[in-house]
Amino acid sequence: MLLCALAVPPTGSGNLPAPVELRTRMLSPHSVRLHWIDPSLDHTQRITDERYYNVYYHAVPHGKNLSVIVKALHVTLHDLQPARRYRFKVRTVKGVNTSPFSATITDRTLTGFYLMILVITIIIIINFCDDSTFSLRAFV
């Protein structure tokens, strides 16, 4: 599992703070899960209003700029290219207010080799596990 974080916040409109602690978790050569913290929410990080998040990303150095809108503090992005670097950033939108962007982070998608190793490892664990309560969910 890879985790990356850096810092570079741009401006926004209104008084919403930028999302913080943006993290990536590469799931496969074609997908990544992003998650972050919204400092304008309380410690439970429960969303109870109409806010949403703009997630922007592109392949480095010259990929097409892409974006998704989500109403959660995480998103899984699919259809990425294997072994390619991507940049990610997110901002909060609530009504007419927009936060500055989070810090931009860069991470590389997995190669097919790493996916093969992951699958083999999971198969080995399943074959050697005697516990009937074993859950594959713990490894994903």
**pLDDT at position 132, please?**
54
- Note the pLDDT of residue 122: 80
Kindly list the distances between the CA atom of residue 14 and the CA atoms of 4, 94, 103, 113, in Å, as whole numbers in the listed order: 28, 9, 18, 46
Q: What is the pLDDT of residue 127?
A: 77
Q: Confirm or reject CATH 2.60.40.10 for domain 1-109, answering yes or no.
A: yes
Quick check: pTM over 0.75?
no
Q: Given the DSSP bridges, would you call strands 52-59 and 66-70 parallel, antiparallel or unpaired? A: antiparallel
- Spans in the chain with pLDDT lower than 50: 1-9
